[in-house]
Amino acid sequence: MPGRNGDQFKAGDLVFAKMKGFPHWPARADDGYKKRVPVYFFGTHQIGNIPPQNIVPYSGNKMKYGSGVRIRGFMEGMWEIQNTPGIGTKILVSFPPQCVCVRGGGPYL
């Protein structure tokens, strides 16, 4: 498996990560690693620590690893990596200060 050197992965990189017994899975690299790269798996929303040689970049490998898998969570993971790659991060989404939403109604200004 041709992975990049571990020092080239940075937080937020979209990748395919391979764990024993599973196909390459859509994931996002996280920071804070030494020998293994912490990744967030799309579709299952689990976290794992993967050796850098078992990780390949998402771009350029989507056609190779992104189809033909029929394991629960994989298709959801492919949808998430394409449409909501920030899911599972600690980024807070704020609403405009003038908008207050109440139960049973729409936004009130």
The token pair at 27 is 């994931």
Please state, in angstroms and rounded to a whole number, the distance separating the CA atoms of residues 4 and 6.
Answer: 6
Please count the structural domains in the chain.
1
Between 84 and 109, name the one with better pLDDT: 84
* Torsion sign, CA atoms 44, 85, 55, 71: positive
Between 88 and 71, name the one with better pLDDT: 71
DSSP SS3 for 11: coil
pLDDT of residue 86: 87
pLDDT in tens, 29-75: 998 777 899 999 999 999 999 999 999 999 999 999 999 999 999 99
pLDDT of residue 109: 41
Residue 54 belongs to what domain range?
A: 1-108
pLDDT of residue 39: 95
pLDDT category of residue 1 using cuts at 50, 70 and 90: very low
Strands (E), the chain: 14-17, 25-29, 37-41, 46-50, 55-57, 100-101, 107-108
Q: Tell me the CATH number at 96.
A: 2.30.30.140
The token pair at 10 is 């940075």
